[in-house]
Structure 1
Amino acid sequence: MRVFAKLQMEFSWNASANADHFPFYSQNIPFLTLHTDLHEQYHRPTDTADLISPEGIRRVARLAFALVHDLANADQTPAFRPAARQESEETRRSLAEQPPQFPERLGVRWSAESAGERGVRLTSVAAQSAAERAGLRAGDRIVEFAGREIRSSDDFLGAVFTAPSATSAAVLRPDAATPIRVLIELAGKPLRVGIVWRVDDAEPGAAILTAVVPGSPAARANLQVDDRIYQINGRNFSGEEELIQLLGTLPSPIHLGVERKGQMRNVELRLEPAPLRRAA
């Protein structure tokens, strides 16, 4: 394991005129600034030698060496992005706060789970929706959907978004002792993995996650918003079209090379739904 493997990194979108990087920035030259952030003694007489962390210096220096080595051996050097002049931390927050666009597949609303009750209880069914066409109605309790036991809202969301178009649900009607089986033809296409992402020319070769569907294979694998996917089954992908093709066709499990705050990790995606749990 590399010495810098445990470094936690934050990547700022601000390029302020307050450090040695700015002359490069002003001349349209790509730059990378390594900084350990401000502290109470920063640029003050109280910033004495006893406050230095030799281990920290060693790890950061080795990281810098590895970066320079990789850049020196790359096929081409990074290009300056004029768009960076209009970007800031506010730009990043704005992108992160944009609501993801998920398909409306079933057309229902439901209540939060109640202690001791199975599944989720529907509170409304949209007109002309897949749910209405299947005969679902307010008050129904969905205890199983697309072969998955429903124990929470996350289970239900994951099951609906990843289910095939033709599926079924076990529905417990008010005052009924046993559930009935309801056939459902869902709208839209299923989300096989359960992620939404964006691409950015500032980060070529990466897919930046903007949403993770609760209860989906991605959520079960602990993928998170702002994670970067760089590899699939140990290889880079050439662009968004190849990423879509690979995620849509590769058999389970799929192994992703994911970066989070500067840390690379291998994530195993198991696409099959979680098995039903039987009562003892």
Structure 2
Amino acid sequence: MQEVKQTNHINTECTSPPFYKPIVTASKAGGLNFITQHFRPINCSLKCIAYLLLTSLSCLSVPGMPTCLLCTCLGGSVYCDDVKLTSVPPLPKETTHFYARYNRITKINKGDFAQMNKLKRIDLTANEIASIADDAFSGLPVLEELVLRENGVSQLPALPPVMTLIDASHNNIGATGIHKEAFKDMTGLLYLYLTDNHIDHIPVPLPDSLRSLHLQRNNIQMIHEDTFCNLKDFNYIRNALEDIRLDGNPINLSRTPQAYVCLPRVPIGAHI
């Protein structure tokens, strides 16, 4: 019986249909029959480009998929840092942490994070955000950390009560930029950073859980005796709040000594 050998010579530029078609030839050598199958490219480069383009577009059209070519997904975390985004991209429903720092996002719409029921952290540091729909984040049931540093936000939106960290430093938040009693129901809030804004008062009431309050370089001119303490309970001690920064405000902290009697440490700021 004569041995038959088959060899394939595949063009490596494009090895998936429809980028090639087989050309079969038969030959003899050394008493053996050889069947050789060649793959001849058919406008390979153009077809490859077209295929990749269609693949990219189809990827973007899949519900819940992020901007595949720009963002990196690792487990539940989606990283879209410094990729010139101008809006929030579609996100997988399983996303738990979203990072889109150093982009050109200008606004946050109501539906940008709709039905993101597992989202725990959003970091939008250093964008160009000037407006945020008031209910853009309030419907996120497990959102704990929101970072909006270095934007142009003038109004802090409503947030869910499970927040542990809020950082809206270096924005344009003014006297009316924070909802009344905005943090009252956030019983697990630990860190509140509002440095370098235009705030003229300390937003009260502050939850007992709060550990760190940064309000440097604002326009706070007065602290009331009940800002931190409970005037109705002289035994009240706010043990958790050990880090209060008020330096850079036009206020003399020594004028209201009774405002700090319940604190483990006196706030940092001007005392003269």
TM-score by length of 1: 0.19
User: Does 1 or 2 have the higher relative contact order (CA < 8 Å, sep 6+)?
Assistant: 1
Q: More helix per residue: 1 or 2?
A: 1
Question: Looking at CA atoms only, which structure, 1 or 2, has the larger radius of gyration?
Answer: 2
TM-score by length of 2: 0.20
